[in-house]
């Protein structure tokens, strides 16, 4: 749950413009260069996120890959390995037909 708290906190910080950032280099540049570098940084972050989600497209560049987070989540869901200490509430088990243990891939979702 702490991982989820960090992710939600970062999102809120960015939304409210209270997130810490090191922008001393950007602020020292002229406005067009600042925008260009900011855009480049955003594109790099999006590319990194896509690689984490599904890295199979990186194989076109000759990199040996094994899938990514989506492949991992699908495998863990299929196997059905659960987190032993976390249990779904009884009403959720009955209503949705869930196993009694929370799927481990749900716990690891923030890490991928």
Looking at 53, 74, 92, the residue that finishes a domain is 53
Q: Supply the range of the domain harboring residue 77.
A: 55-112
Model confidence band, residue 91 (pLDDT cutoffs 50, 70, 90) = confident
pLDDT at residue 82, as a whole number: 60
For the chain, what is the radius of gyration of the CA atoms? 20
DSSP states along 70-105:
HHHHHHHHHHT-EEEEEE--HHHHHHHT--SEEEHH
- Across the range 20-47, mean pLDDT stands at 87
Q: Are residues 75 and 28 in the same domain?
A: no
Q: Are residues 62 and 79 in the same domain?
A: yes
pLDDT per residue as tens digits for the range 24-36: 888 888 999 999 9
Q: Are residues 33 and 70 in the same domain?
A: no
Number of domains in the chain: 2
Q: Are residues 59 and 110 in the same domain?
A: yes
Looking at 37, 53, 69, the residue that finishes a domain is 53
Here the tokens at position 26 are 């950007």
Q: Are residues 104 and 90 in the same domain?
A: yes
């Amino acid at each position: 749950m702490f991982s989820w708290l960090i992710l939600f906190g970062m999102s809120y910080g960015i939304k409210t413009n209270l997130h810490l950032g090191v922008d001393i280099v950007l602020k020292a540049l002229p406005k067009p260069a600042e925008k260009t570098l900011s855009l480049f940084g955003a594109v790099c972050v999006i590319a990194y996120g896509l690689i984490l989600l599904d890295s199979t497209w990186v194989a076109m560049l000759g990199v040996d890959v094994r899938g990514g987070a989506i492949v991992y989540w699908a495998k863990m869901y299929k196997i059905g390995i659960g987190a032993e200490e976390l249990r779904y509430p009884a009403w959720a088990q009955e209503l949705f037909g869930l196993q009694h243990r929370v799927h481990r891939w749900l716990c690891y979702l923030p890490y991928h």
